[in-house]
Structure 1
Amino acid sequence: MADPHTAVLREVLVRYLDAWTPSVLRSHRRATYVEAGRDDSAALRVFGEFADRLAGHELDVVLLSAGTTPAETPPGLSVRAVDDPADLTVTGPVLAHVDATEGGVLDEPAAWRLVDSLPPGKGREVLLALPPATEEDVRAHRVWLRDAGLAYAVTVELADDDGNSRLLLFATGSDKHLTTFKNELWAADEFAGIRYRDPRDAEHALVDISLTPQLLPLRRVLLDELARRGSCTVADLQRHTLHETIYRPADTIGVLTAAASAGAISREPAKGRLTPKTVVRSVT
């Protein structure tokens, strides 16, 4: 049985593929999925569920360092194995899943070379499982990704009760896809003792995996950001939540509503439900 870290990573991948696959099939005649994980069967099962939608499209599945390819694949699904990442060629939008943790298909330097080799474009996305990283390492990862043209990213640690962790990193050129990934991240089932942690959180708080997660780490981030700005719209802080935290834009509303009720911030208009256009101000 897979360890809990791997189980969570696999479920997050499957959930995102359930959203990514119909999206690229609607918009493009050809797309590529690159698998460099420990098990390609989960992704292939997802693609099999969309066999009826593959007609008239071509979904190219590339298995890195795989020994064999499946004997049967749905029509419209092309599966091939590539031993050397340098030989990788892709067409159309691409999602690459790479496990660069101990015992994975690629080591971490090779994983970053693969990311750098993917063709530019808004449709390029990567989902990486990496060894534990310091805050400085995470900052360097995000700089690398921005330089590679992947402007939007989320980095989240998967930590167990014994202090073991892995870093999950998703990067994309699409705000919309980043929001989708975060929704799936929090919708995953909780596996024995695995919790999320934002590697950039100064308090290193552990948060249970839940559709309604504990929001104290987000509250600290948003109140600090609001104090820095003085005032801004709720939409501004929703964008900050999306781009700079492990949380979803929708979580911003709950934090700001509670903060306004507690007198920690002021708002205009003073009453009614918060909307993206509501202006909030720091009171410190």
Structure 2
Amino acid sequence: MPTEAVGHAPFLRHLDRWVPAALRRARRATVALAYDGSDPNLAEQTVRLAGEHAARLRGCRLTVLVLAEGTEELPARLGAAEAGLPTEVAVHLMPGPPARLPVALRAAGAAGAPVLSYLEAADPVALTAAAAGRAAEAVVVAEAATPLRAALVDAGFALVTEVELVDADRRIGFGTGSDRSLEELKEILWASGSRFRDPYGEPLSPAARVEPAPLGRALLEELARVGPRTVTELRRYAVTETAYRAVDAVRALSDLLDTGRVTRTPQDGRLGGDVLVTPVRSGA
């Protein structure tokens, strides 16, 4: 598998959840792929998934935009995938690098509708265009040495995360405006079985239950830096700033409470989102 293709399966799984939600909300949406096109399977599967959802959601309009240099195989594979698609789905194949994404999105009539993009480059022009759509989301794959979180923030995404894939020498970033989408995408990445980097650069192997100490240490550092925070805020910190999931944050906080390194207000009840967590000062 090409190293870039490590992002294909997570993107397609997210797409499968994203399309019906987007079309129920807005009745029209755009899916944009900007990559080299050397693996036509990604574009083909995207088109087929789009057709399956559109067939069940009549009266909607879904556009699939493929921006790629590609090979001779790509147009043929897309043409085969288009055969038999419902009229609600439009497919556009355009040549060019990711920097042409703003032009491609305008040509596809994506303005004012939800847009989900898949990019295999941290091109700032492409990222800004991907963030401009209504309820925009983007999955980005780049070399491990390429920071993606800051680039996604600069592009205009309200919520971002990134994970470094230890065994693929690649980094996957995600930008969105939805906490739910953020947590779902992180769960999808964990389900892939890939190893990530924890906040201290050590390999992190996904599991149903993970060792809470590294994340607990990171949460303590965040609390020391910014002061007391709610469980909701600490869950978001774990999802956006580390490779961990929201559920891991709750487990790490429970461990910190059990060992007396933080306190909570109120003291009793479920460790819910509005519970305030305060670090315990050394020697207190």
TM-score band by shorter chain is 0.7 to 0.9
CA distance in 2, matches of 1:148, 1:98: 13
Please give the TM-score of this superposition, normalised by the length of structure 1: 0.81
Query: What residue is the counterpart of 1:197 in the other structure?
Result: 197
Query: How many aligned positions are there?
Result: 258
Matched, 1:142 2:149: yes
Which whole-Å CA distance do the structure 2 matches of 1:178 and 1:30 have between them?
Answer: 22
Residue of structure 2 in register with 1:96 after alignment: 117
Deviation at 1:113, TM superposition (A): 2.4
CA deviation after TM superposition for structure 1 residue 17, in Å: 0.9
Matched letter for residue 20 of structure 1: W
In 2, the alpha carbon distance for the partners of 1:229 and 1:119 equals: 28
Change (3 A) 1:270 1:210: same
The structure carrying a bigger helix percent of its residues is 2
Matches within 5 A, 1:80-91: 80-84=92-96, 85=98, 86=100, 87-89=103-105, 90=108, 91=110
Partner of 1:42: 45
The alignment's TM-score, normalised by the length of structure 2, stands at 0.81
| Structure 1 residues 52-96: Cα deviation after superposition (integer angstroms, max 9, x where no partner) | 324211111111124413231521111110113534024121111
The 2-side partners of 1:28 and 1:118 are apart by: 17
- Aligned 8 A contact 1:208 1:214 in 2: no
Question: What are structure 1's unaligned runs of at least 5 residues?
Answer: 101-107
1:241 equivalent in alignment to 2:238: yes
Contact kept in structure 2, 1:63 and 1:81, CA below 8 Å? yes
Say whether the 8 Å CA contact 1:152–1:173 is kept in structure 2.
Answer: yes
CA contact (8 A) 1:122 1:173 kept: no
The answer to whether the 8 Å contact 2:162/2:243 transfers is yes
When the two chains are superposed, the root-mean-square deviation of aligned CA atoms in Å is: 2.4
CA shift, 1:99, in A, is 2.1
Deviates further, 77-86 or 16-25: 77-86
**Equivalent in the alignment of 2:270:** 273
Q: Are residues 197 and 148 of structure 1, via their aligned partners in 2, closer, same or farther at CA, if it must alter by over 3 Å?
A: same
Q: Which residue of 1 aligns with 2:79?
A: 70
* % identical aligned pairs: 34
DSSP-derived class of the 1:204 partner: coil
* SS of match in other structure, 1:260: helix
Give the secondary structure class of the aligned counterpart of 2:165: strand
- What's the secondary structure of 1:256's corresponding residue? helix
State the match for 2:256 in structure 1: 259
| Aligned equivalent of 1:116, options 115, 128, 134 | 128
Question: Could you tell me whether the CA contact under 8 Å between 1:54 and 1:77 is conserved in 2?
Answer: no
What is the rounded CA distance, in whole Å, between the counterparts of 2:274 and 2:128 in structure 1? 38
Q: Residues 122 and 172 of structure 1 are in contact (CA less than 8 Å); yes or no, is this contact kept in structure 2?
A: no
- Aligned 8 A contact 2:54 2:60 in 1: no
* Counterpart code for 1:227: A
- Quickly say closer, same or farther: Cα 1:159–1:143, change in 2 above 3 A: closer
CA distance in 1, matches of 2:120, 2:156: 21
1:149 and 1:173 in contact (8 A); partners too = no
CA distance in 2, matches of 1:115, 1:228: 30
